[in-house]
Amino acid sequence: MHGVTKMSMLKAYFLATAYIFEPDRAAERLGWAKTAILAEVIASYFRSELCTKEARKVFIYNFRNGHIK
Protein backbone atom coordinates (compact mmCIF):
# COMPACT_ATOMS: atom_id res chain seq x y z
CA MET A 1 0.00 0.00 0.00
CA HIS A 2 2.11 2.88 -1.31
CA GLY A 3 5.22 2.10 0.71
CA VAL A 4 3.49 1.41 4.03
CA THR A 5 4.25 -1.85 5.78
CA LYS A 6 3.14 -3.34 9.07
CA MET A 7 6.60 -2.53 10.40
CA SER A 8 6.34 1.14 9.41
CA MET A 9 2.93 1.38 11.10
CA LEU A 10 4.33 -0.14 14.29
CA LYS A 11 7.32 2.20 14.15
CA ALA A 12 5.04 5.23 13.77
CA TYR A 13 2.92 4.17 16.75
CA PHE A 14 5.89 3.34 18.97
CA LEU A 15 7.58 6.64 18.13
CA ALA A 16 4.37 8.39 19.14
CA THR A 17 4.33 6.35 22.35
CA ALA A 18 7.87 7.46 23.16
CA TYR A 19 6.79 11.10 23.10
CA ILE A 20 3.19 10.86 24.26
CA PHE A 21 3.26 8.15 26.90
CA GLU A 22 0.49 9.17 29.30
CA PRO A 23 -2.37 6.61 29.31
CA ASP A 24 -5.08 9.27 28.96
CA ARG A 25 -3.52 10.58 25.71
CA ALA A 26 -4.13 7.46 23.60
CA ALA A 27 -6.15 9.41 21.02
CA GLU A 28 -3.22 11.78 20.49
CA ARG A 29 -0.83 8.85 19.96
CA LEU A 30 -3.18 7.37 17.39
CA GLY A 31 -3.50 10.73 15.64
CA TRP A 32 0.29 11.08 15.53
CA ALA A 33 0.68 7.59 14.06
CA LYS A 34 -2.05 8.16 11.45
CA THR A 35 -0.47 11.44 10.40
CA ALA A 36 2.96 9.82 10.07
CA ILE A 37 1.53 7.03 7.91
CA LEU A 38 -0.37 9.50 5.73
CA ALA A 39 2.82 11.51 5.22
CA GLU A 40 4.64 8.30 4.27
CA VAL A 41 1.93 7.40 1.73
CA ILE A 42 2.09 10.85 0.12
CA ALA A 43 5.91 10.83 0.01
CA SER A 44 5.93 7.33 -1.47
CA TYR A 45 3.44 8.35 -4.16
CA PHE A 46 5.47 11.46 -5.00
CA ARG A 47 8.59 9.30 -5.45
CA SER A 48 6.80 6.74 -7.63
CA GLU A 49 6.80 6.65 -11.41
CA LEU A 50 3.01 7.06 -11.33
CA CYS A 51 3.28 10.62 -10.09
CA THR A 52 4.08 13.24 -12.68
CA LYS A 53 5.36 16.71 -11.97
CA GLU A 54 1.94 18.07 -12.95
CA ALA A 55 0.16 15.67 -10.56
CA ARG A 56 2.40 16.89 -7.71
CA LYS A 57 1.60 20.51 -8.50
CA VAL A 58 -2.15 19.80 -8.58
CA PHE A 59 -1.99 17.89 -5.29
CA ILE A 60 -0.05 20.64 -3.53
CA TYR A 61 -2.34 23.36 -4.91
CA ASN A 62 -5.45 21.48 -3.79
CA PHE A 63 -3.97 20.69 -0.39
CA ARG A 64 -2.98 24.30 0.28
CA ASN A 65 -6.38 25.59 -0.79
CA GLY A 66 -8.42 23.09 1.19
CA HIS A 67 -9.78 21.20 -1.80
CA ILE A 68 -8.72 17.79 -0.47
CA LYS A 69 -11.23 16.08 1.76
pLDDT digits (tens, 9 = 90+) for 18-35: 999 999 999 999 999 999
Give the model's pLDDT for residue 18.
93
* pTM of full prediction above 0.85: no
Contact between residue 4 and residue 45 where contact means Cβ atoms under 8 Å apart: no
As a whole number of angstroms, the distance between CA 27 and CA 39 comes to 18
Residues of the chain with confidence (pLDDT) below 70: 1-2, 69
Kindly calculate the radius of gyration of the chain based on its CA atoms and give it in whole angstroms.
15
Give the model's pLDDT for residue 69.
60
Q: How do the domains of the chain map onto residue ranges?
A: 6-64
As a whole number of angstroms, the distance between CA 27 and CA 51 comes to 33
Instruction: Compute how many other C-beta atoms are within 10 angstroms of the C-beta atom of residue 28.
Output: 13
Contacts (Cβ under 8 Å, ≥6 apart) of 46: 56
